[in-house]
A = this chain, B = another copy of it.
Amino acid sequence: MKEIKVGVIGCGYWGPNLIRNLNENHHTSLTHVCDLDRERAARIKLRYPHVISITDYRDLLKDSTLDAVAVATPVSTHYRLVREALEAGKHVLVEKPFTSSTREAERLVALARKKGLVLLVDHTFIYTGAVRDIKTRVVTGELGDLFYFDSVRVNLGLFQRDVNVVWDLAPHDLSIMDYLVGEDPVSVAATGTAHTPGGFEDVAYMTLKFKGSLIAHFHVNWMSPVKIRKIILGGSRKMLVFDDLDPGEKVKIYDKGISVSKPSRNSIYQSLVQYRIGDMYAPAISNIEALKGEIEHFAECIMNGATPLTDGEAGLRVVRILEAANRSLKKDGAKVRL
């Protein structure tokens, strides 16, 4: 028996994936879909005839039988929709980036807490087998101390009309970084350029610094002729490459690194660096669709009153970095403290 009745607001690019998974999950029951574009919602109804299709989300929030909503609309609308949904007593799953500003995010986090409702930000990558596998290796110390997190996410992209390439693409990698590193950066610097008249940045680079010697860097690009989705994670013991486009070996762990001899009295400023070139290892990674596991997790959190892995706080941490990145972009790459 399905317990949790869910409606989806926003049937555009990502919405159909939410709809499909909410429909197939055993704990959730998809009851409504909502889109300003009547045509779009109608197309959904064609495939899911049992679903009520509406254009005004307020009708949906009014329905007292509804337990939860999933919000997959443009980011500028998230704050209002999530707020009203929480106020209407609905649990909420919301697309990333969570909100347009830190302030909005903080308010929603507080509101959800006050209402005792589940608020899950759709940081989908956290629910992939690959990122889960990597997390275990970080936590168990297999990689040693983290040295750097280098991410490249580029392709000839969908130019967004409302946000720049940092807000469009970096949330994926920031959420992965946030989850794996488990530590807040102390500063952000971002630089980039726009190549369309009056447009947003379409190529950008962002650097995060942390307390120790850890550095994180992100290359996001809508203007690349090739598609790259690659993260290199360097540790003191092992290093790791996560190539999301490699169907067979998404995660490769390299037993490579350096060992540094203690400098002797005579070479006080020069330590002796030695290289270690060992084996490579690619674990079998679960292929289960991430969103499927995420929806299951959403349902379980609702049923058990648990806090989601990617809760409002996680969404807030990512938005805080994005906001600072935008400030840095405006100041031509100057460092912004967090």
- Is A307's beta carbon under 8 Å from chain B? no
Q: Which of A245-273 contact B (CB under 8 A)?
A: 245, 247-249, 252, 254-258, 260, 263, 268-271, 273
- Is A36's beta carbon under 8 Å from chain B? no
**Stretch from A61-69, A82-90, A185-193, A290-298 contacting the other chain:** A185-193
A49 — nearest CB in chain B belongs to which residue?
B49
- Is A338's beta carbon under 8 Å from chain B? no
Q: Which of A38-55 contact B (CB under 8 A)?
A: 47, 49-50
- Is A304's beta carbon under 8 Å from chain B? no
Query: Which B residues are in CB contact (< 8 Å) with A1?
Result: none
Name A248's contact: one of B147, B189, B227, B260 (CB within 8 Å): B227
- Is A74's beta carbon under 8 Å from chain B? no
For A188-204 the 0/1 string (1 means CB < 8 A from B) is: 01011111111100010
- Is A159's beta carbon under 8 Å from chain B? yes
Inter-subunit contact A234/B240 (CB<8 Å): no
Give how many A residues have a beta carbon under 8 Å from the other chain's beta carbons.
72
Interchain CA distance A283-B226 in the complex, whole Å: 15
Inter-subunit contact A199/B279 (CB<8 Å): no
A195 CB to nearest B CB, Å? 5
Inter-subunit contact B219/A150 (CB<8 Å): yes
Report, nearest first, the 4 A-B pairs whose CB atoms are least far apart: A225-B254, A225-B239, A280-B282, A159-B273
Interface hub of A154, A195, A239, A275 (most chain B Cβ within 10 A)? A195
**Given A189-B191, A333-B189, also A273-B196 (CB < 8 A):** yes
Query: Which B residues are in CB contact (< 8 Å) with A163?
Result: none
- Is A224's beta carbon under 8 Å from chain B? yes
A245 — nearest CB in chain B belongs to which residue?
B247
Interchain CA distance A223-B156 in the complex, whole Å: 29
Query: Which B residues are in CB contact (< 8 Å) with A232?
Result: 154, 224-226
Inter-subunit contact B219/A258 (CB<8 Å): no
Query: Which B residues are in CB contact (< 8 Å) with A280?
Result: 225, 248-249, 281-282, 284
Inter-subunit contact B279/A234 (CB<8 Å): no
Interchain CA distance A148-B191 in the complex, whole Å: 12
Query: Which B residues are in CB contact (< 8 Å) with A154?
Result: 232
- Is A2's beta carbon under 8 Å from chain B? no
Inter-subunit contact B156/A275 (CB<8 Å): yes
Inter-subunit contact B273/A279 (CB<8 Å): no
Q: 28 A-B residue contacts at CB 8 Å?
A: A148-B221, A150-B203, A150-B219, A150-B221, A154-B232, A156-B258, A159-B258, A191-B209, A192-B215, A196-B260, A196-B271, A196-B273, A197-B260, A197-B263, A199-B260, A205-B205, A207-B333, A223-B257, A225-B232, A225-B252, A225-B254, A225-B256, A225-B280, A226-B248, A226-B254, A249-B280, A280-B284, A334-B334
